[in-house]
Amino acid sequence: MNDMRLFERAATVDEVKIRAKDVNVHYGIAHALKDVSVDIGDRLVTAFIGPSGCGKSTFLRCLNRMNDTIAAARVTGAIELDGQDIYDRRVDPVQLRAKVGMVFQKPNPFPKSIYENVAYGPRIHGLARTRAELDEIVEKALRRAALWNEAKDRLQSPGTGLSGGQQQRLCIARAIATEPEVLLMDEPASALDPIATAQIEELIDELRQTYSVVIVTHSMQQAARVSQRTAFFHLGHLVEYGETGDIFTNPRDPRTESYISGRIG
């Protein structure tokens, strides 16, 4: 049984979920991201690391067209999700963001009940026909986000009344309630204490059984703990990308080496 599971995981590891080719981003005249090409695998965690301002969040936002919402941002190049160009004019960015969900640095629940926070996406995307179906979706998402036990008796209480770590798990539940395929996380634990951080990291490890997870992090320890692949960015360039273990123990580029040994950043 165990061998079988290993085999299944090995078989899925090399499937490409997102393929980015020659992606450039300008904010007005500032060239923030330069010729980034990368294949992001399915059902594994990819970490983006690098010094402040190197373009990690900018690139993350390219993957679900969140940069569309920034007037100054201009994105060129190609990004495919399962072989489909996400920048094609026929793609509805709202539908895309249901498939490629996002969790932000600061937990940002809606000023609504816990239940409504999770039910919102499924409702606008018409995923439930009845209240019972919606209840089921909400419960499933809260369970997957490891929040059900803490939230089940207070579903009608405001989401903002939860602790920081619980709020972040609520935001993860909200993101996964629309059955996304990819989860983008921009420093999801940076506002949390060590215990809540450990819970989020454990959850990320769970989630990769189902999703492709991409996480921006400032913590190299966190990247080493949660990810299987790591991409190192520097001054808008993707300098090095590979197996996390290799990046941290045997980096090929001197800039990566300097960063992970604390000489730049």
Ligand X SMILES: Nc1ncnc2c1ncn2[C@@H]1O[C@H](COP(=O)(O)OP(=O)(O)OP(=O)(O)O)[C@@H](O)[C@H]1O
- Return the closest-CA partner of residue 163 out of 200, 125, 192, 130: 192
Binding positions for ligand X, 56-115, rule CB under 6 A: 56-58, 70, 72
Q: Does 54 bind ligand X (CB under 6 A)?
A: yes
Q: Does 55 bind ligand X (CB under 6 A)?
A: yes
CA distances from 247 to 81, 242, 259 (A): 25, 6, 11
Stretch that binds ligand X, among 7-15, 54-62, 86-94, 149-157 (CB under 6 A): 54-62
CB of 93 to ligand X, least distance (A): 17
Residue in 27, 104, 110, 148 binding ligand X, rule: CB under 6 A = 27
Distance CA 241, CA 67 (A): 23
Question: Residues near 23 by Cβ (< 8 Å), separated by ≥ 6?
Answer: 33, 35, 36, 37, 59, 62, 75, 76, 77, 78, 79
Strand partners, 111: none
φ and ψ of 73, to 5 deg: -80, 135
Nearer to ligand X, 14 or 22 (CB): 22
What is the token pair recorded at 134?
């919606």
Stretch that binds ligand X, among 11-19, 46-54, 74-82, 114-122 (CB under 6 A): 46-54
Nearer to ligand X, 117 or 230 (CB): 230
Stretch that binds ligand X, among 55-63, 82-90, 96-104, 172-180 (CB under 6 A): 55-63
Q: What sign for the dihedral angle of Cα 47, 53, 59, 60?
A: positive
Q: What sign for the dihedral angle of Cα 138, 143, 146, 147?
A: positive
CB of 30 to ligand X, least distance (A): 6
Nearer to ligand X, 58 or 113 (CB): 58
Q: Quick one: how many helices (H) and strands (E) in the chain?
A: 11, 10
Nearer to ligand X, 144 or 234 (CB): 234
CB of 68 to ligand X, least distance (A): 12
Which residues contact ligand X (rule: CB under 6 A)? 27, 30, 32, 50, 52-58, 70, 72
